[in-house]
Amino acid sequence: MKRHFATMAKYNRWANARLYDAAARLPDEAYRRDVGVFFKSLHGTLNHLLVTDRIWMHRLDGQGAAPDRLNATLFDQLDALREAREAEDARIRRFVESVSDADLEAVRHFKTTKGVPQQGVLRELLAHLFNHQTHHRGQAHTALSLLTGAEPPPLDLLLMLREPA
């Protein structure tokens, strides 16, 4: 099970890097344009992904700040957002590497952004974290399609797995 999550952490970093590479090629106006995805723009979607990862990682490792709004804008500039994204992806990988298979079966207690107590098994919480990333990366991918009129870089897990080490 731990190996699976290590692969997902690696994939998460890889897919995010591909998205940010594509975003960096856009004019700023296009990057910020409301294209109708849930967090409106590519900028809003990428910020949301960082927000939620910081919330979840704070719940899991107790480190760093946890934003209290899912639509918070943590960084207004793409370069700063990307730097923070890379740091968060490294943090996720370190966390996954630090847990044992037994840890993955432990129950974690946390509170929602509204302060409601919750609990979950760590492996289920990690599965949610990675699934949530994939869900919103799909929206970011759609935003890139709409903004460029071209197919964005593919984000398939198998592509990453087939790349040379």
Axis-axis angle for helices 78-98, 42-61 (nearest 10): 30
pLDDT value at residue 164: 86
Q: Which CATH code of 1.10.1280.10, 1.20.120.450, 1.20.140.10, 1.10.287.180 fits the domain covering 2-162?
A: 1.20.120.450
User: Rounded distance, CA 22 to CA 19, Å?
Assistant: 5
Per residue in 30-54, pLDDT (tens digit) is 999 999 999 999 999 999 999 999 9
How many residues does the structure list for the chain?
165
Q: Average pLDDT over the chain, rounded to whole?
A: 96
Please name the residue ranges forming H helices in the chain. 2-24, 28-32, 42-61, 78-98, 101-104, 122-148, 157-162
Per residue in 139-155, pLDDT (tens digit) is 999 999 999 999 999 99
Per residue in 76-98, pLDDT (tens digit) is 999 999 999 999 999 999 999 99
